[in-house]
């Protein structure tokens, strides 16, 4: 809960208690405080009302620089995806060639040991 004093920071509680004490002690301060609070609340309500009353008939057309920015972002994203896919293909091809190379080296090693054993007989 926002009004829970346990979860409020210490400085916030001290400030609120000082304001409360000052409001009790001075009628003039209390009057100004209430006036400022009502102005603050009225301004907040006006902002809320204004933001909720955005007319739906107005269509916002983006200007040329915004469109170019969006196109640039899309183009960079496409290029990045393309390069990532190319990189992935090359990595897969490299792994395949390394496996094939290892296989051929094993065959060469086995054939060379077979020929040396035949020569020894």
pLDDT tens profile 61-79: 778 888 888 899 999 999 9
Q: How do residues 2-61 score in pLDDT, each as one tens digit?
A: 555 556 677 788 888 999 999 999 999 999 999 999 999 999 999 998 888 766 666 677
d(CA 47, CA 37): 15
Greater pLDDT, 1 or 96: 96
Radius of gyration of the chain from Cα atoms?
38
Q: Which long-range contacts (CB under 8 A, 24 or more apart) does 104-108 make?
A: none
Helices and strands, counts by H and E, the chain: 3, 0
């Amino acid at each position: 809960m926002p009004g829970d004093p346990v979860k409020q920071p210490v400085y916030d509680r001290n400030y609120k208690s000082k304001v409360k004490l000052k409001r009790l002690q001075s009628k003039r301060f209390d009057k100004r405080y209430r006036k400022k609070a009502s102005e603050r609340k009225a301004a907040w309500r006006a902002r809320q009302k204004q933001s909720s009353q955005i007319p739906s008939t107005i269509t916002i057309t983006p200007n040329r620089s915004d469109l170019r920015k969006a196109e640039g972002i899309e183009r960079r994203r496409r290029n990045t995806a393309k390069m990532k896919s190319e990189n992935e293909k090359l990595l897969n091809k490299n792994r395949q060639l390394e496996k094939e190379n290892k296989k051929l080296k094993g065959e060469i090693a086995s054939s060379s040991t077979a020929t040396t054993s035949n020569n020894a007989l």
